[in-house]
Chains A and B, each alone.
Chain A
Amino acid sequence: MISLLLIIVPLVGAVIAAAWPDNRTRPWLLPAFGLVHVVVSFWLFVAPPEVAPGAWIGFDALARAVLPVVSLLFLICAAYGVSYLRIRSERPNRAFVSLLLAILGLLSAGHQARHLGILWITTEAVTLATVPLLHFNGTPRAFEATWKFLLVGGTGIALSLLGSFCLGYASLHGGGEGDLTFAALTAQGAGLSRPWVLAAWLLLLVGYGTKMGIAPMHTWKPDAYGEAPSIVGAILAGGVTTVAFTAILRVRAVVGAAGEGAVADRTLLVIGSFSMLVAALFLLGTRDFKRMLAYSSVEHMGILSFGAALGGAGVAAALFHVWSNGLTKGALFLSAGNIRRAAGSPSMDDVRGMSVVTPRSAAIFVAGMFAVTALPPFGPFFSELQVVRAALAGGHTAATAIFLGCLLLAFFGMTRVVFGIVDGRPRPSTRLNGKRFAETAGVIAPPLLLLGLSLWLGLFTPAILREAWSAAVVMLYPNP
Chain B
Amino acid sequence: MSPGILNILIGVAMGLNLIALASSRLPSLIRAMSLQGVVLGMMPLFMGHESLDWRVAAVAVATMVGKGVIIPSLLRRAMRAANIEREIEPFLGYVPSMMVGAGGTIAAVALARALPLLPEHAETLLVPGAIASILTGFILLIGRVKAISQVCGYLILENGIYLFGLLLIHSTPLLVESGILLDVTVGVFVIGIIVDRIQRAFDSLDTRKLTTLRE
Which of A162, A178, A179 is packed against the most chain B CB atoms within 10 Å?
A162
| Cα A227 to Cα B201 with chains together (Å) | 15
* A148 in contact with B167 (CB, 8 Å): no
- B42 contacts the other chain (CB 8 A): no
User: Given the complex, which residues of A lie within 8 Å of B190, measured CB to CB?
Assistant: 128, 131-132, 150
Q: Is the CB of A125 within 8 A of B183?
A: yes
Interface residue B4 (Cβ < 8 Å from any Cβ of A): no
Shortest Cβ gap from B211 to chain A (Å)? 8
Contact among A115, A124, A180, A226 with B187 in the assembled complex (CB-CB below 8 Å): A124
Does the CB pair B213–A144 fall under 8 Å?
yes
Contact B213 A148 (CB under 8 A): yes
Q: Which of B141, B158, B190 has the most CB of A within 10 A?
A: B190
Q: What are the residues of chain A within 8 A of B168 when measuring CB–CB?
A: 165, 168-169, 172, 178
Count how many chain A residues have C-beta atoms less than 8 Å from C-beta atoms of the other chain. Answer: 48
**Which of A135-143, A236-244, A332-340 forms contacts with chain B?**
A135-143
Residues of chain B lying within 8 A (CB to CB) of residue A161: 161, 165, 180
Contact assessment for A117 and B180 in the assembled complex, using a CB-CB cutoff below 8 Å: yes
Q: Kindly state whether residue A118 has any CB partner on chain B within 8 Å.
A: yes
State the CA gap A355–B54 with chains docked (Å).
67
User: Does B150 belong to the interface (CB within 8 Å)?
Assistant: yes
Identify which of B180, B187, B197, B213 contacts A145 (C-beta below 8 A).
Answer: B213
A148 to B212, CA, bound (A): 12
Please determine whether A140 and B164 come into contact, CB atoms closer than 8 angstroms: no
| A182 close to B (CB within 8 Å) | no
List residues of chain A with CB within 8 A of the CB of B83: none
Q: Does A22 contact B (CB under 8 A)?
A: no
Residues of A within 8 A of B207 (CB): 147
Interface: A54 (CB within 8 A): no
Contact A165 B167 (CB under 8 A): yes
Task: List CB contacts (< 8 Å) of B171-215 with chain A.
Answer: 171-173, 175-176, 179-180, 183, 186-187, 190-191, 193-194, 197-198, 201-202, 207, 210-213, 215
* Residue B64 interfacial (CB < 8 Å): no
B contact face: mostly helix, strand, loop, or mixed: helix
Q: Chain B contacts of A128 at CB under 8 A?
A: 183, 186-187, 190
Q: Which residue of A lies closest to B207 (CB)?
A: A147
A291 to B186, CA, bound (A): 29
**Proximity string of chain B (108-132) to chain A, C-beta cutoff 8 Å, 1 when within and 0 when not:** 0000000111100000000000000
Which residue on chain B has the smallest CB distance to residue A159?
A: B161
Is the pair B210, A147 in contact by a Cβ cutoff of 8 Å? yes
Within 8 Å of chain A (Cβ to Cβ): is B134?
yes
Instruction: Produce 1/0 per residue, B136-153, CB < 8 A to A.
Output: 000001000001001000
Residues in B neighbouring A172, C-beta threshold 8 A: 118, 167-168, 171
The docked-state distance in angstroms from the alpha carbon of A193 to that of B117 is 10
Closest to B191 in A: A150
* Contact assessment for A154 and B161 in the assembled complex, using a CB-CB cutoff below 8 Å: no
Task: Report whether B134 and A162 are in contact in the complex, using a CB–CB cutoff of 8 Å.
Answer: yes
Q: Choose among A115, A121, A154, A177 the residue with the greatest number of B CB atoms under 10 Å from its CB.
A: A154
**Is there a chain A Cβ closer than 8 Å to B21's Cβ?**
no
Contact of A169 among B167, B170, B183 (CB under 8 A): B167
Residues of B within 8 A of A155 (CB): 141, 154, 157
Contacts of B175 in A (CB 8 A): 117
Contact with B along A222-239 (1 / 0, CB 8 A): 110011000000000000
Q: A104-156: which residues lie under 8 A (CB-CB) from chain B?
A: 115, 117-118, 120-121, 124-125, 128, 131-132, 135, 139-141, 143-148, 150-151, 154-155
Q: Which residues of B sit under 8 angstroms from A222, Cβ to Cβ?
A: 213, 215
Q: Give, as a whole number of angstroms, the nearest-CB distance from B27 to chain A.
A: 22
Determine if A121 and B194 form an interchain contact, defined as CB atoms under 8 angstroms apart: no
- A2 to nearest B CB, angstroms? 22
* A173 and B194 contacting across the interface, CB-CB below 8 Å: no
Which B residue sits closest to A227, measured CB to CB?
B213
In the complex formed, the residue of B with least CB distance to A121 is B179
B211 cross-chain contacts in A, Cβ below 8 A: 144
* B86 → chain A closest CB, angstroms: 21
Interface core residue of A120, A132, A146, A282 (most chain B CB under 10 Å): A146
Q: Which residue of A has the minimal Cβ distance to B198?
A: A143
Q: Are A196 and B210 in contact (CB under 8 A)?
A: no
Separation of A145 and B198 alpha carbons in the complex (Å): 11
Give the Cβ gap from A397 to chain B, nearest Cβ, in Å: 32
Looking at the assembled complex, report how far the CB atom of B30 sits from the nearest CB atom of chain A, in whole angstroms: 18
Known: A125-B183, A128-B190, A285-B215. A147 touches B172 (CB 8 A): no
**A225, chain B: closest CB distance, angstroms:** 11
Whether A124 contacts B183 by the Cβ 8 Å rule is yes
Q: For residue B117, which residue of chain A has the nearest CB?
A: A173
20 contacts between A and B (CB under 8 A): A115-B176, A117-B179, A121-B183, A124-B183, A125-B183, A143-B198, A143-B202, A144-B211, A144-B212, A147-B194, A147-B207, A154-B187, A165-B164, A168-B168, A168-B171, A172-B168, A173-B118, A179-B171, A180-B171, A195-B115
**A residues engaging B (CB < 8 A)?**
115, 117-118, 120-121, 124-125, 128, 131-132, 135, 139-141, 143-148, 150-151, 154-155, 158, 161-162, 165-166, 168-169, 172-173, 177-180, 193, 195-196, 222-223, 226-227, 282, 285-286, 291
4 closest residue pairs by CB, A with B: A178-B171, A117-B176, A121-B179, A144-B210
